[in-house]
Amino acid sequence: MTLQDYFKVFRHRWIIIVICALVAGAITWFITPASSDTTKKVGSYTATATMLVTAKASSAATAVAPNLDRVALYLKTGEVPKRAAKKVGYEGDPAVLASGLTVVTDPAAQAITVAATASDGKQAAAVANAFANETINYIKEKPRAGVENARLEVLQTATPIPTAGSDGGFVIPPGRGPRTAIATLLGVLVGLGLALLLDRLDSRLRTRSEIHNALQMPIIAEVPRLKRAQRSRASIAVATDPLSIYSDGYRAARTALVHTTGQVMPGDYTPRRAASEVPEKQAATGARLIVVTSAHAAEGKTTSVANLAASFAETGQRVLVLDADLRSPDVHNVFDVPQGAGISDYLSDVSGDASLASLMRPTSVPGVRIMSAGSSLAHPAALASRMSHLLDEARGMADVVLIDTAPLLEASDVFDILPMVDTLLLVVRSGRLTEVAGNRVAELVGRFQVPVSGVLIVGAPTKRADAYGYGYGDDRMSKRKAKRARKGARSRQSGPVGPPTGHMGDFFDDAEQPESRRSRRTSSSA
C-alpha cells in the first residue's frame, strides 16, 4: 500500500479512530484521581547515609586529620562488605553488593556519603545504613587500622528516594490531564491499527479502481452519495431536481450508452441467436434494448432505470421501461403508477390476444411509459418462451427500451433475456459488492457474449471537485441558480415588465411584442 492508500483507509474509517481515542481518554479521566498525588512508575530507589569523621587530639595543642580515602576504601573492600551483606541478608558475593555503592568524600566538611540503589526503597535504605554502621564498628574494633585518630558517627541515616533508574523505566506524569492526553494518543494509535486490520479483512469494493479491477468492465459514470434527507425525494431526481450533480451523473451514463457500442466480455458460451440478428433488428427499428441489472438486490438498479429513462426523455426520445424483475417488481412504485396487468400477463397469454400497447402506462415524466411486471403468479422461468416476441414488439413502440431485471447473482431470469438485448448496464452500489461476487458477475456475463456498455457506480464517494454538474461540483450553486430562476419566473408572471436587465429573454415577453413596437413607431411617425 502507498501512503495515499493509507490516508484513504484512515479517512474512510475515521469514526473507528475517533471512538478508540475518546474511549481511552474517557476511561483514563474517570479512573485517575483528581489530585496530583499519584504513584509514579519508577525504575529504582536511592538511599543515602552520611558519616561525619572528626579528629582526636593527639596532644593538648595538636590534632591529626583523619584519612577519608582510607575510610572510603574500607566501605568498598575487605571485612566491611562481608558484614554488611550478612546484616541485610544478601546471599551473593559481598563485592558485588559493594560495587553498587556510591561513596563520595568531602574533605572540607570531613564527611563521607554512602548511596545505595535498589528496586525496593526499604532494601536500598537497609544497605546504605548497614555499610555505614559496619564501617564504624570495624574501625572501633581495630584501632590500629590506620585511622585510630578518627572518630566516626552516622550524621544522617539513609532514606529511600524514588528515581527513574537506568533500566529504561518511564515516569508517568502525575495529574488527570497529562494522563488523559497520553491515553488519548494511545487510543488514536490503537484506532489506526484497528482501521488497517478491518480494511484488510473487508473485501467490499468501494473505489472506482477496485470495482474496475474486479469486474474488468469500463466505468461509464458515477452517481454521488446522497445525504439522508435527500434520499426520500430522489427516486427520479433527473425530473424533480434536474440541476443537481446527482442528476448529472445519470446524464453522463446516458451519454455513454448512446455513444458506446459495448464490449463483449471473454467467455466460451455460444449464444442461442446469431451474433448479427440483434444488431439487424436495432438497425431496422432504430430502437435500442438496454438491460439494466445488478449483482444483488438493493443496489439502486430500479432507481437508476427510472433516472436513465427521464434523462433519455429530456432529449426528446420515446422511452419504454419494462419491469422484467418478476420476483420483486418495483418500477411501478418508483413511477407511482398502479401495477395492474403487465409483462407476466402478456407472457402467460398463450392465445396471443394480449396487446403490448394496451399494457403500457403513461407516467408523470413526459415521454416515459412503463410496462409493469403484471399480476400473474406464474414462475418466471415458465414465461420466458414468449420474451423474444415481447422485446421485438417493444422495439417498435419506443426509441429506447430500458429493461429492469432481477439481480444476476440472486435469480436466473436475466440470463434468458441477455441474448436478446443490444447491451448491458451493470449497476453497482459502492461498498456493497465484494471482490468474489464481482469476479462471479464478470464470469457470468462473459458466458453470454452480450455487449457490456459498462458499470454505473451508485453512492460513489466522489469529492466535490470531482463531481461535475451545472454547479461545477457544488450543489449549493445549482440550488441558488434554480432559486433565482423561480423568483424571476414569478416576477414576470405577477408584475409588469421592467427595463432590460442584461438578459435577452427579458426584452421580449412573447412573439408579438416586436411587431407591436414597430406598429407604435409607424403610428408616431405618421
pLDDT tens digit at each of 526 positions of the chain:
788 878 888 888 889 999 999 999 999 888 887 654 444 455 578 888 888 777 665 544 444 456 788 888 888 888 888 888 888 888 888 888 888 888 888 888 788 888 888 878 888 888 888 888 888 888 887 765 545 445 555 555 555 555 554 444 455 666 788 888 999 999 999 999 998 888 888 888 888 888 999 898 999 999 988 766 555 555 788 988 888 888 999 999 999 998 876 666 555 444 444 444 545 555 444 568 999 999 999 898 999 999 999 999 999 999 999 999 888 899 999 999 988 888 888 888 766 677 888 899 999 999 999 999 887 656 666 666 778 888 988 998 899 999 999 999 988 888 888 888 999 999 999 888 888 999 999 988 888 778 899 999 998 875 543 444 444 444 455 555 555 555 554 554 444 444 333 333 332 333 334 344 444 444 444 4
What per-residue string of b and e applies to 302-328 under the rule 16 or more CB within 10 Å gives b? bbbbbbbbbbbbbeebebbbbbbbbee
Task: Locate 520 and state its grid cell.
Answer: 407604435
Rounded to the nearest 5°, which phi and psi values hold at 434? -90, 165
Domain 208-477 listed as CATH 3.40.50.300: yes
Are 303 and 250 contacting, i.e. CB atoms less than 8 angstroms apart?
no
- Cβ neighbours around 73 below 10 Å, total: 14
pLDDT given at position 428: 94
- The CA-atom distances, in angstroms, between 286 and each of 28, 280, 314, 369, 397 are 72, 10, 18, 18, 11
Q: Residue 79 corresponds to which cell in the numbers above? A: 571485612
DSSP symbol at 66? P
Nearest one of 281, 523, 245 to 420, comparing CA atoms: 281
Task: Report residue 222: phi and psi, to 5°.
Answer: -130, 130
**What global pTM score does this model have?**
0.59
Decide whether 44-163 matches 208-477 in CATH topology.
Answer: no
Element (H, E) at 404: strand 400-404
Residue among 335, 369, 321 at smallest CA distance from 239: 335
pLDDT at position 79, please?
Answer: 87
> CATH topology for 44-163?
Alpha-Beta Plaits (3.30.70)
CA 361 – CA 355 distance, rounded (Å): 13
The three-state DSSP-derived secondary structure of 328-394 is CCCHHHHCCCCCCCCHHHHHHCCCCCCCHHHHCEECCCCCEEEECCCCCCCCHHHHHHHHHHHHHHH
pLDDT of 310 reads 95
Residue 152: the pLDDT is 53
Domain positions in the chain are 3-38+174-201, 44-163, 208-477
H/E element holding 15?
A: helix 14-31
> How far apart, in whole angstroms, are the C-alpha atoms of residue 260 and residue 248?
18
